[in-house]
Amino acid sequence: MHPPDRILMGPGPSDVHPRVLQSLGHPLIGHLDPDFTPLLDRVGEQLRTLFGTSNRVTFPVSGTGSAGMEATVVNLVEPGDDVVVGVNGVFGGRIAEVARRAGANVHTVEAPWGRIIDPQAFLEEVRKRRPAVAALVHAETSTGAHQPVAEIGEALRGEDTLLLLDCVTSLAGVEVAVDAWGVDAGYSGTQKCLSVPPGLSPVTFSDRAVAKVRGRASPVQSWYLDLTLLLGYLDAEGGRTYHHTAPVSMIYGLAEGLDLVLEEGVDARIARHAHLGGLLQDGLTQLGLPLLAQEGHRLPQLTTVGLPDGVDEAAWRARLLKEYGIEVGGGLGDFAGRAWRIGLMGHSCDERNVRLLLAALERLLD
Ligand code: PLP
């Protein structure tokens, strides 16, 4: 196998630091080995720092970001529950679909692609429906919109509704403050701003959310993702009983990736993303290309940009890949065929990459 050398500036996966790649090759030990479980505990502790939470139940689900989505939704939702979901792109739509499949009556609050969900409209729907769960996507990777959460979390404090937040693209790229915002459950993915290969989905559940899962009238529809069973292994107090075989090498990779994040410092990492995202977005504007996400709510780590009329965007992406080794993403949904999604996530978020991409685009536009 000889994978080519790429610069990953799409919507994920992002480039991986050599230290993380090396860690994946460490000798394998058993997932019940007394030297492995402390590593799992350390990962949980580091994830708490990143999520901004003291939630005891914070761990990496085995599977990609969608597994974290499923894990949170299927544990918190019982058949017949009302669920309100903000939909302004692909991933809000995916949460709605997962909740429907879990038997929920789903009510969506929608916004045009590129715009945030209006907090007041979302709260109005929540007050009307009084749902078991209200869900939002913090960083909508299909549009580049950065959803404000604090105001919504504050307004829902003390209500029975559990607030669920998709942090797949936001974690370690922009501020995430689960406890301060009153978020009850959140999930992320390793392959975005954490810069670890895809394969794990860090999740966090508040005590209130765990109590809801434990008090369910019906068993969780998914055996694999049933939190009450998973805790038997994850929690030292649960006796570390076997549930499924933890993906040991991926946990090595995540542990190393989290070490790198914390060595840099969460605030410094967020500032790096903000600075370089701004540099990229200014550069694109100077090239005359329109930024498609709502002004004032643009993610630094994921920029959606429109291409000039008549451009075959797929052909241009193929040229970028062939001539510069740069991967960017095509548009999805409403943006398909007319936009790119440019990622500056984690290890890929580097000034050299920004300048190289802008220079390459200038040549393509010439
Ligand atoms: N949620 C968001 C916001 C995402 O960007 C993604 C993936 O891009 C997912 C969920 C699903 O994650 P995965 O593709 O790792 O399953």
Q: Is 341 annotated as a binding residue?
A: yes
Which residues have C-beta atoms less than 6 Å from ligand 1? 11-12, 64-66, 69, 91, 137, 139, 141, 166, 168-169, 189, 198
Between CA 33 and CA 24 the distance in angstroms is: 17
Q: Which residue among 90, 143, 169 has the greatest number of ligand 1 atoms within 8 angstroms of its CB, and so is best to mutate?
A: 169
Q: Which residues of 260-283 are buried (b: 16+ CB within 10 A; e: fewer)?
A: bbeeeebeebbebbbebbebbbeb
Between CA 68 and CA 60 the distance in angstroms is: 8
> pLDDT digit string (tens) for 35-48?
999 999 999 999 99
The CA 362 to ligand 1 mean position distance, Å, reads: 30
- Show Cβ contacts of residue 77 under 8 Å, excluding neighbours closer than 6 positions: 83, 99, 102, 103, 104, 132, 133
> pLDDT digit string (tens) for 4-62?
999 999 999 999 999 999 999 999 999 999 999 999 999 999 999 999 999 999 999 99
The ligand 1 atom at the shortest distance from the C-alpha of residue 66 is 16
The pLDDT score that the predictor gives to residue 239 is: 81
- Show Cβ contacts of residue 99 under 8 Å, excluding neighbours closer than 6 positions: 73, 77, 83, 85, 106, 133, 135
Bridge-partner residues for 162, per DSSP?
133
Kindly report the protein residue whose alpha carbon is nearest to atom 5 of ligand 1: 141
The pLDDT score that the predictor gives to residue 235 is: 83
Structure tokens at 149: 């959460």
Distances in Å between the alpha carbon of 291 and those of 114, 132, 308, 342? Answer: 9, 36, 12, 11
What ipTM was reported for this prediction?
0.99
**% residues pLDDT > 70 (the chain):** 100
| Average pLDDT over all residues of the chain | 97
Kindly report the protein residue whose alpha carbon is nearest to atom 14 of ligand 1: 65
Instruction: Name which of 2, 16, 10 is nearest 326 in CA terms.
Output: 10
Is pLDDT above 90 for 261?
Answer: yes
The three-state secondary structure class of 105 is strand
> pLDDT digit string (tens) for 68-90?
999 999 999 999 999 999 999 99
Sorting pLDDT into bands at 50, 70 and 90, what band is 191? Answer: very high
The ligand 1 atom at the shortest distance from the C-alpha of residue 138 is 3
The CA 91 to ligand 1 mean position distance, Å, reads: 7
Q: Which residue among 8, 14, 61, 66 has the greatest number of ligand 1 atoms within 8 angstroms of its CB, and so is best to mutate?
A: 66
With beta carbons less than 8 A apart as the criterion, state whether 70 and 185 touch.
no
